[in-house]
Amino acid sequence: MKLKKIFPILFALVATATACDKPVVAELNLFNTSVSVAAEGGKADVYFKTNQNWSIHSDSDWVTTLPISGIASDNQKVTLTVAANPTTSERTATVTVTAGDKSGQISVKQAAREETPRMTISEFRDKKVDGTTWYELTGEIAAIENEEYGNFIIFDETGYVYVYGLCATQRPMGGNDESFSTLGLKPGDKVTMMTLRSEYNGTIEAGGQTPAYFLGKEEGTYRLGRKVASTKAGWMELPATSADDKQDLLIHYFPDGQRSYSAYYDYGNFVSSWVAYPLCAGNIGSGGRTDKFCLDPLLPRSQQAYLPGTYREGNAGKFDRGHQIPSADRLDWRVNIETFFATNMTPQVNELNAEAWAVLESKVRDWAKKSDTLYVVTGCVTQGSDKYALDSDNKQITVPVGYYKALLRLSKGEYSANAFWFENAPDKSTSIPKTKAMSVDELEKKVGVDFFVNLDADTQKTVESADPTQTTWWWSN
């Protein structure tokens, strides 16, 4: 009798278990099956409901989704972000939602970009400031000043222009959304954008209060520089380098392949120990300051000072962004850009940078113009410094204790030398006194650098030991 009662109970339990294990039928209901977007791009929301965990993907890289997956919900929203259409044809993409064994598709249609004036940078610069007319502009990126807002310099065969703000999609006035970093742009890339013609304090700009917006890019590489751990180059201006001092040589070139300057970069202090370069009337050139303090394309941002603004105060007050190779030593716009690289900057006391040091820089240019070539080494000394300034990323940039110049003059086959030392302290001298000058040998002992190692030994011994205060030429020219 007990068994007869047990069997019906077991049968009921099995039946219940079988019913519980029956799979749920997937449901997916799309509330939007098509979306239309303007040519300049933008965002659009799509809605659906499903009783399954789901995922979504686009078959085109110009449409992205957020989020990309989720859980069952009766009211799910996904935001589609559509890039600007760089073509003059309508284009379509398909976004697919998958939930269990169900899927649904959303068609994204984007309007064609209207034909707009396409021009060279020189033609763009000649346009008047205009807050309504959009231009298509293409140029190679020379250097990037600000990686958040998209401030950088582009150029083509006709000239250069500063781009003040580039966004991934068209934005309203004052609406820079800091999307520049998502574009993956770097120096050497050729970028195409839509932009207004603007101006700020006399500087011609693409972008401006209404940022430019991205159309497309062509991958490229930075061609005017290279980084080497040490060098055996026979350039006369180069001091000795070492493979063991954890410094690299950053070499920058003129567009024709001739060297412009070499910076011996100290990663620990975020400054170059010295910058060496040949100087003559021919390579000084003509032009003006580009005046945009950019990242050096040879190093990642984390390894150099980031200076879209001036140094921030650290533990020692305010400092200028002081050049080692002066801007005025390379006036052609293409190489003047390179003199504003962060690796050429040091925190320098304003009352030195704008006063006595500027006087010395001007005098060095005068001497160079009266020589066949003047080989220049400008350097700073960080040993013994406990002072620092801050960059825009709050990295601590060592404040040098002093600066020097070592000069080797070549004229009519004859060499002569001079050297100078200045403390990194206020100095408003309007001329260069002989008390600041010394022999190259003396400077070598003071700063621990072996200068002009590519001179032959006999000439080096004679020239570097000579007392420049007793050489009339330096003080009468």
- The CATH number that applies at residue 158 is 2.40.50.140
Asked whether residue 341 falls in the same domain as residue 469, the answer is: yes
Q: Which of 85, 110, 135 is the last residue of a domain?
A: 110
The beta-carbon contacts of 85-89 under 8 Å, at least 24 apart in sequence, are 85/39, 85/40, 85/41, 85/110, 85/111, 85/112, 85/113, 86/113, 86/192, 86/215, 86/216, 87/112, 87/113, 88/112, 88/113, 88/114, 88/115
Give φ, ψ of 56 to 5 degrees: -140, 140
Q: Which of 110, 131, 166 is the last residue of a domain?
A: 110
Based on the structure, what is the number of domains in the chain? Answer: 3
Q: What is the pLDDT of residue 115?
A: 72
Residue 38 lies in a domain: yes
Q: What is the pLDDT of residue 22?
A: 65
**Residues pairing with 379 in the sheet:** 274, 404
Residue 21 lies in a domain: no
Asked whether residue 192 falls in the same domain as residue 322, the answer is: no
List, in order, residues 6 or more apart from 321 with CB less than 8 Å away: 293, 307, 310, 311, 345, 347, 348
Residue 274 lies in a domain: yes
Q: What is the DSSP string of 346-388?
A: EEE-HHIIIIIHHHHHHHHHHHHHTSSEEEEEEEEE-TT---E
Query: What residue has token string 């799509």?
Result: 46
Selection from 249, 333, 337 nearest residue 298 by Cα: 249
Residue 6 lies in a domain: no
Q: What is the pLDDT of residue 466?
A: 97
Q: What is the pLDDT of residue 118?
A: 79
Going residue by residue through the chain, which has 477 residues, state the pLDDT in tens, using 9 for 90 and above. 444 444 444 444 444 444 455 678 999 999 989 999 998 899 999 999 999 999 999 999 999 999 999 999 899 999 999 998 888 899 999 999 999 999 999 999 999 977 776 799 999 999 999 999 999 999 999 999 999 999 999 999 999 999 999 999 999 999 999 999 999 999 999 999 999 999 999 999 999 999 999 999 999 999 999 999 988 899 999 999 998 899 999 999 999 999 999 999 999 999 999 999 999 999 999 999 999 999 999 999 999 999 999 999 999 999 999 999 999 999 999 999 999 999 999 999 999 999 999 999 999 999 999 999 999 999 999 999 999 999 999 999 999 999 999 999 999 999 999 999 999 999 999 999 999 999 999 999 999 999 999 999 999 999 999 999 999 999 999
Q: What is the pLDDT of residue 40?
A: 84
Residue 3 lies in a domain: no
Residue 7 lies in a domain: no
Retrieve residue 210's tokens.
Answer: 């209404």
Selection from 408, 409, 433, 411 nearest residue 422 by Cα: 433
Asked whether residue 44 falls in the same domain as residue 158, the answer is: no
3-state DSSP call for residue 338? Answer: helix
Distance CA 369, CA 72 (A): 77
Q: What is the pLDDT of residue 114?
A: 78
Q: Which of 58, 80, 110 is the last residue of a domain?
A: 110
Asked whether residue 435 falls in the same domain as residue 420, the answer is: yes
- Burial of 286 (C-beta count, 10 Å sphere; 0-12/13-18/19+): exposed
Signed CA dihedral, 38, 39, 43, 47: sign only: positive
The secondary structure of residue 179, as a DSSP letter, is -
> What CATH number is given to the structural domain containing 78?
2.60.40.10
Asked whether residue 384 falls in the same domain as residue 424, the answer is: yes
Asked whether residue 407 falls in the same domain as residue 467, the answer is: yes
Asked whether residue 263 falls in the same domain as residue 394, the answer is: yes
Retrieve residue 78's tokens.
Answer: 């996904």
Asked whether residue 80 falls in the same domain as residue 167, the answer is: no
Q: What is the pLDDT of residue 86?
A: 80
As a dihedral over the C-alpha atoms of residue 201, residue 205, residue 211, residue 214, rounded to 10 degrees, the angle is -160
Asked whether residue 48 falls in the same domain as residue 78, the answer is: yes
Q: What is the pLDDT of residue 21?
A: 59
For helices 440-447 and 457-465, what crossing angle results, to 10°?
90
Asked whether residue 276 falls in the same domain as residue 404, the answer is: yes
Residue 87 lies in a domain: yes
> What CATH number is given to the structural domain containing 333?
3.40.570.10
Asked whether residue 214 falls in the same domain as residue 230, the answer is: no
Residue 395 lies in a domain: yes
Distance of CA 365 to the CA centre of its chain: 29
User: Residue 352 belongs to what domain range?
Assistant: 225-476
Asked whether residue 83 falls in the same domain as residue 231, the answer is: no
The secondary structure of residue 341, as a DSSP letter, is B
106 membership: H or E segment, kind and range: strand 102-110
Q: What's this model's pTM, rounded to 2 decimal places?
A: 0.80
